[in-house]
Amino acid sequence: MDLKFKNKKITGILSILPSTIVRFEDEMVNYNFSAAKSLKLKMAMGYNTHHVAKEGQCSSDFCIYGLQYLFDTGLLKKEDIDALLFVSQSPDYFMPPTSNVIQGHFSLKHDIICLDINQGCAGYEIGLIEAFMLLDQDSINKVVLMNADVLSSKVSKRDRNSNPLIGDAAAITIVEKDDEGSTIHANVQMDGNNAFALMIPAGGFRLPSSLKTSIMKEDEAGNFRSKDNLVMKGDDVFNFVMREVPLMIDHLLECANINKNDVDWFMFHQPNKFMLNKLADAIKVPRDKMPSNIVENFGNSSGATVPLNISFNLGENLVNGSAKVCLAGFGVGLTWSSVFMNMKSLKFNRIINL
């Protein structure tokens, strides 16, 4: 689905990381790999360190910490927030919505829209699209988009497919109206036929968590996980990304009438280094225009990886200058989505730690 928006802009990005850092070498003993094989994979996949939340730290804790930072530093005023979007797959509760919990924590005005969106790896693009649509309303001038996930606690420590790369993080993006803004192009695709390629089988209403769902079992590849843990059909997801994402990017840039060479940065979701390098090759863009260093430094934090990627790799460059960026996310749902826009003169673009 092609989408187009006018007069919208991103005015700030704040990424919030847990201060607990785990090293791949320290976890290697948990996996059914020889040390030599693990170290080869480390190089290919970009495993190194990942940031994980402490026990009991929830997605909202990171958002609240980040919002408090923005209020304290004068970068955001409470009364200016017209909509609060929370995109996550690890909400604090089934009910109430985490966005309402955050609104309540800060006693934000009642004349506001709070909305939780259940999305993962494409959650940044989906969240931005929702923010752009809300900003079409006369009464909405500023949207706070929060992408946060603390899924590390849902991954088995003995699952070599997922544990080495999982990370926790949050990001707060301020989206506003812009009188001078150029057109923003976006694309969204979904395939529910493959919805279970990435899932946590137990813990919802279909299969509530129980003693039975917590039993660890070994799969064909030697991974140990329970039905309470995240499970990913890695081969299927890899093939889906290689098949669909290059087509989507080509189509998006064609709609935006821009040559690939004129895009400054391809800021993509960060599943692993191997996949991103193959994706850059498939899209036929230089690998150094598509940063792939988020997994090795912080881990894959689902919908927060794209803003974290922007904060980490572009930082002050977007505060003092501008860039034509192509954003893309792909994963759970299955969902794949992309946004092409010009980003310039952000008020802030930084990382803080909790």
CA distances in angstroms from 93 to 59, 60, 96, listed in the order given: 10, 10, 6
Q: How far is the CB of 40 from other proteins (least distance, A)?
A: 5
Nearer to other proteins, 45 or 108 (CB): 45
Q: How far is the CB of 161 from other proteins (least distance, A)?
A: 8
Nearer to other proteins, 160 or 225 (CB): 160
DSSP type of residue 346:
-
Nearer to other proteins, 283 or 310 (CB): 283
Put the strands of the sheet holding 113-117 in their side by side order.
113-117, 83-87, 142-149, 169-177, 8-17, 348-353
Nearer to other proteins, 37 or 54 (CB): 37
Q: How far is the CB of 296 from other proteins (least distance, A)?
A: 15
Closest CA to 267 of 5, 2, 4, 13: 13
CA distances in angstroms from 132 to 9, 30, 237, 252, 290, listed in the order given: 9, 44, 28, 17, 25
The pair phi, psi for residue 180, each rounded to 5°, is -105, 5
Q: Report the sign of the C-alpha dihedral through residues 92, 96, 97, 98, in that order.
A: negative
Map tokens 């730290």 to a residue: 57
Q: How far is the CB of 144 from other proteins (least distance, A)?
A: 36
Q: How far is the CB of 100 from other proteins (least distance, A)?
A: 41
Query: Token pair of 285, please?
Result: 């863009």
Q: How far is the CB of 272 from other proteins (least distance, A)?
A: 9
Contacts of 204 (CB under 8 A, 6+ apart): none
Nearer to other proteins, 242 or 258 (CB): 242
Nearer to other proteins, 170 or 241 (CB): 241
Nearer to other proteins, 160 or 185 (CB): 160
Nearer to other proteins, 53 or 232 (CB): 232
Q: How far is the CB of 186 from other proteins (least distance, A)?
A: 24
Q: How far is the CB of 8 from other proteins (least distance, A)?
A: 33
Q: What is the dihedral of CA 50, 63, 134, 333, to 10 degrees?
A: 40
List, as one string, the DSSP characters of 169-215: EEEEEEEEE-TTPPPEEEEEEE-GGGGGGEE--SSSSSS---TTTT-
Q: How far is the CB of 347 from other proteins (least distance, A)?
A: 37
Nearer to other proteins, 128 or 155 (CB): 155
Interatomic CA distance for residues 114 and 58, integer angstroms: 18
Q: b vs e for 183-201, b when ≥16 Cβ sit within 10 Å of the residue's Cβ? A: ebbbbbbeeeeeeebbebb
Interface with other proteins by CB under 8 A: which residues? 33, 37, 40-41, 43-45, 160, 220-221, 234-235, 238-239, 241-243, 274-275, 278-279, 281-282
Kind and range of the H or E run holding 3: strand 2-5
Interatomic CA distance for residues 113 and 164, integer angstroms: 37
Closest CA to 308 of 319, 322, 298, 318: 298
